[in-house]
Amino acid sequence: MSTPLLKVPAGAAALAQGEWLAPLTGHWVDAAQACLSRHAAVVRVTVVALRGSAPREPGASMLVDALGTVGTIGGGRLEWQATRAARALLCTRDSAPVRIEELILGPDLGQCCGGRVELWLERLTRDDLPWLLKAARAVRNGGGIALLTEFGGGIASHRLQRSTPGAASLYLRRTTQEQITLVEMLTPQRPRLWIFGAGHVGQALVRLLSELALFDITWIDSRAELLPANLSDEVTAQVCAAPADLVGVARAGTRYVVLTHDHALDYDVCRRILLRGDSAWLGLIGSVSKSARFRSRLLRDGVDREMLSGLTCPIGIQGIASKLPAAIAIAITAQLLQQQAGVPAAQLTGAELTGARLTGTENPACTAACKSCGSERRKDT
């Protein structure tokens, strides 16, 4: 006899279906405005101080509304306890809008990090939208402004002032036991990253970087059908028949990743970026052979050796052997994170690559006169 199938009520089936956790993209003041457009109140939870080891750094924030959360302060029992405290603050509208929670990760929460974390919990309502709007404008205008949240007597007030050079980016200032001020520097907008190419690697890279929400991305390709319509807020798609022409309108300090479908286009884009001389970083997808040929030709086309040192190729951290687009995207993303943190990327030096003289066995796919990069194969002498 066959066993009858268990029938699950429709409501129970719906509850069994999970949802993706929502990342906090951009600054928390922007996300708070968005939450308050859908909910009457939201609680922001921010790590304001820590001692020892903890899952997230000071400044990490999450938002808790009536239905869910946006962002993370590290997950696990710490985030569960913080969410629970935030829900209590959200439900008691007549209570003080600010609470400070200090949690010891080991004894209090059973987490092996062992550190001590101090959390700032603040209930925000639509009455807070005016100063949130001003704070968001300050972030977009390049930062340099401090947000002061002064709490005392059960009341929280907010004001903006110019930040002091060299001041800590986030700290609590206790005037008395009841008078506390949270000082937060409103950091500038995310670094600008231009990605040329919307093929398999380009799409995998943008998906991954969108989740991280660390860059304001301009994504460029001549093929409109490869640029998806539903992109996250930090990604701007640009269809251009001549992508290299857009290099001239990029702002100084932009980071670039070049991985188009055409080696000649790769070369033209890189040459223009290097001749500008004001990029924060330039990464080009390709082999050691491609790198050597491009560098040789760039030197002949007016890019001096100092400029050429700004080209990273091959791109991506070492040690990842897979050629799958997603794996390549992970390697590139890791290198971008290293570069942003000031860690020297693992790569061949410009001198090594410029002086390379390729043999016929080094790249059997190359023809005698490579049309894609314009260089000629030379034999060792």
**For the chain, how are helix, strand and coil distributed in percent, rounded to 5?**
30, 25, 45
pLDDT of residue 12: 46
By residue count, the chain amounts to: 381
What lies within 8 Å, CB to CB, of 361 at 6+ separation is: none
Beta bridge partners of 150: 157, 181
Helix, coil or strand: residue 26: coil
Nearest to 277 by CA among 297, 253, 261: 253
**Token pair of 19, please?**
């949802």
**Token pair of 137, please?**
């404008």
How far apart (Å, rounded) are the C-alpha atoms in residues 315 and 258? Answer: 9
How far apart (Å, rounded) are the C-alpha atoms in residues 158 and 180? Answer: 12
Q: For residue range 18-58, list pLDDT tens digits in order.
A: 788 888 877 899 999 999 999 999 999 999 998 887 788 89
Range 192-354 classified under CATH 3.20.20.370: no
Domain positions in the chain: 22-139, 192-354
pLDDT of residue 361: 31
pLDDT of residue 65: 94
pLDDT of residue 24: 84
How far apart (Å, rounded) are the C-alpha atoms in residues 78 and 24? Answer: 17
pLDDT of residue 341: 80
Q: Where are the alpha helices (DSSP H) in 56-107?
A: 76-91
Beta bridge partners of 71: 62
For tokens 């987490």, name the residue.
Answer: 111
**Token pair of 245, please?**
């022409």
Using H for helix, E for strand and C for coil, what is the string for 150-201? Answer: EEECCEEEEEEEECCCCCCCEEEEECCCCCEEEEEEECCCCCEEEEECCCHH
Q: Could you tell me if 135 and 186 are in contact, meaning their C-beta atoms sit under 8 angstroms apart?
A: yes
H/E segment holding residue 62: strand 61-64
CA distances from 285 to 14, 110, 246, 282, 357 (A): 44, 45, 19, 10, 20
pLDDT of residue 208: 95
pTM: 0.68
Strands 255-258 and 192-196: parallel
Strands 235-239 and 255-258: unpaired
Establish how many alpha carbons lie within 13 A of residue 234's alpha carbon, considering only the half-sphere containing its beta carbon.
26
Residues of the chain with pLDDT under 50: 1-9, 12-15, 345-381
pLDDT of residue 10: 52
Residue 62: is it exposed, middle or buried by C-beta count within 10 angstroms (0-12/13-18/19+)?
Answer: buried
How far apart (Å, rounded) are the C-alpha atoms in residues 154 and 248? Answer: 53
Strands 155-162 and 145-152: antiparallel
